[in-house]
Amino acid sequence: MASGRGDGKRQCAAGEEFGASSGLRRSHGWTFGGGSRLHKVTLPDNTASVSIPDGWKFNTKVSGGGTIVLEGPHGGGEGIVLNTAYSGQDPTNPGFQRARQGGFRPPPNVVFHPHNGDLVKAFPDLYLRLGRSIGWHPTDLQIDRSETMPSPQSERCVHATGHVNNFGSGMMELNEMLCTVGFDPNTGQYRFTAFFSLLPNAVADQDRATAAAIMSSFKWDEALVRARSDAEMAPSSPRCARAGKPSRTRCCGITNKLWVN
């Protein structure tokens, strides 16, 4: 996301923007109702860390590779997703159009959207389509506010808030930062990256500030994630060998990792 490259370790600007937009500012040792302080936790693969209060926990089945998925203390789908990726494709890209004419068929989970499209206007539709691409079936989506956020020239970001029935268990408060990154002008391929919280309406007022502080604390090691991904997707890797695909480009793909309620 929007931040300096430096030594490869960077803090996600989307998380910081999330905290700032919620009226929070970074301080030493967040403290919330009941005296619960945030404590730093790191993924077992050392690719990302976040600070959480007691009661919040990793979903270990889907966290890793720079992505953190947290489950809240109240159940009902309460959670936070940090730095998850979806496959995007610009259908207007000439290279993609030539490939389609040559018989290329993109994977079924790819979400089509012009890379230079209006994310604010498209956000409601994108949220539904991105959710369906990973097997979710969100309904009753209500967007209260959405706005373009500062980002590097090659990226676009939107911050949106609203409510949605994501799991069929009732309405939840949604707070999301969605960005398009990694655009390839030759193929029109890119990634959607998302940072969002889902809080049951009954506890949203209670947990909103906590969720914003958690997101603001997120850090990930992009260089380490990229190095491991490159090694895993190399033509000689066991994974590509099992797939029977000698081409690194053809073997490489994006894994959509979110919690399963």
Domain extent for 169: 9-251
Determine, yes or no, domain membership for 174: yes
- Tens of pLDDT, residue by residue over 81-139, are 999 999 999 999 999 999 999 999 999 999 999 999 999 999 999 999 999 988 888 99
Of 47-61, 148-162, 188-202, 232-246, give the lowest mean pLDDT range.
232-246
Instruction: Give the residue among 199, 256, 252 at the shortest CA–CA distance from 228.
Output: 252
Residue 167 and residue 123: Cα distance in Å, rounded? 19
Q: How confident is the model at residue 17 (pLDDT cuts 50, 70, 90)?
A: low
- The predicted pLDDT at position 24 comes to 36
Determine, yes or no, domain membership for 159: yes
Residue 97 and residue 100: Cα distance in Å, rounded? 5
Number of neighbours of residue 52 by Cβ within 10 angstroms: 22
Determine, yes or no, domain membership for 258: no
C-beta of residue 100 within 8 angstroms of C-beta of residue 91: no
- Tens of pLDDT, residue by residue over 175-222, are 999 999 999 999 999 999 999 999 999 999 999 999 999 999 999 998
- The predicted pLDDT at position 238 comes to 52
Return the CATH number at 57: 3.40.1000.10
Helix (H, G, I), strand (E, B) or coil at 34: helix
Q: Looking at residue 182, what DSSP letter applies?
A: -
Structurally, the chain folds into a number of domains equal to 1
Determine, yes or no, domain membership for 228: yes
Q: What are the start-end ranges of the E strands in 104-215?
A: 111-112, 139-149, 156-165, 172-181, 189-200
Q: For residues 35 and 49, which has the higher predicted lDDT (pLDDT)?
A: 49
Residue 19 has pLDDT above 90, yes or no: no
Determine, yes or no, domain membership for 259: no
Q: What percent of the chain has pLDDT over 70?
A: 75
Which residue, chain included where needed, has tokens 């793909």? 253
- The predicted pLDDT at position 205 comes to 94
Phi, psi of 53 (to 5 degrees): -90, 170
Determine, yes or no, domain membership for 257: no
Determine, yes or no, domain membership for 37: yes
